[in-house]
């Protein structure tokens, strides 16, 4: 089991969440791939969109429904600083995950996070579990609780 997957499992357990982590036969690197692999709607997939704060230099995490896009201006207003692209090295250094497998929890350091209210329309959503082939199901309210994410409108 990869270190990333172990961190996600440990974070779920520490939060008191019983969630089955599934290894998929197909890639779950993109929201469309994950939805097809899981057999759910695109918006039931939690995309972990990571930006770099241009002032702080640190990552900011936006958990959005698979079919939504993050509005850079709205996201920057929430983050309190201009945002830019987070490169793969920064994402790995601050979250511990590679792009395509960034989980919403289990980061190696605290990461400020916001949650797309669209996700709360579902009883269950699916999120990356630290690798491009592992996902877990969770209720959106539980996801918000265990990540400390703030529900906010940041989509285009």
For the chain, list the domains and their CATH numbers: 3-151 (3.90.960.10)
pLDDT value for 1: 73
Quote the distance between the C-alpha of residue 127 and its chain's center: 6
Tell me which residue of 95, 70, 92 sits closest to 83, measured CA to CA: 70
pLDDT beyond 80 at 2 = yes
Confidence of residue 60 (pLDDT cuts 50, 70, 90): very high
Confidence of residue 155 (pLDDT cuts 50, 70, 90): very high
pLDDT digits (tens, 9 = 90+) for 11-56: 999 999 999 899 999 889 899 999 999 999 999 999 999 999 999 9
Listed in sequence order, the DSSP H helices in the chain are 3-14, 31-38, 72-79, 88-95, 140-147
pLDDT digits (tens, 9 = 90+) for 63-113: 999 999 999 999 999 999 999 999 999 999 999 999 888 999 999 999 999
The answer to whether residues 106 and 4 touch, using CB atoms and an 8 Å cutoff, is yes
Task: Report phi then psi at 12, rounded to 5.
Answer: -60, -45
pLDDT value for 100: 84
pLDDT beyond 80 at 152 = yes
pLDDT value for 99: 87
CB atoms within 10 A of CB 156: 10
| Integer Cα distance of 72 and 101 in angstroms | 22
pLDDT value for 17: 95
pLDDT value for 102: 95
């Amino acid at each position: 089991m990869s270190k990333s997957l172990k961190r996600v499992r440990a974070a779920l357990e520490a939060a008191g969440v019983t969630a089955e982590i599934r290894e998929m036969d197909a890639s779950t690197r993109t929201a469309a791939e994950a939805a097809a692999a899981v057999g759910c709607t695109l918006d039931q997939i939690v995309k972990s969109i990571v930006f770099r704060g241009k002032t702080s230099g640190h990552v900011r995490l936006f958990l959005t429904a698979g079919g939504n896009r993050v509005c850079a201006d709205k996201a920057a207003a929430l983050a309190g600083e201009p945002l830019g692209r987070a490169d793969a090295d920064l994402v790995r250094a601050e979250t511990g995950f590679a792009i395509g497998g960034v989980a919403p929890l289990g980061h190696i350091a605290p990461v400020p996070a916001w949650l797309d209210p669209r996700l709360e329309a579902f009883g269950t959503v699916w999120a990356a579990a630290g690798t491009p082939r592992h996902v877990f199901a969770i209720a959106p309210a539980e996801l918000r609780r265990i990540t400390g994410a703030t529900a906010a409108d940041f989509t285009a």
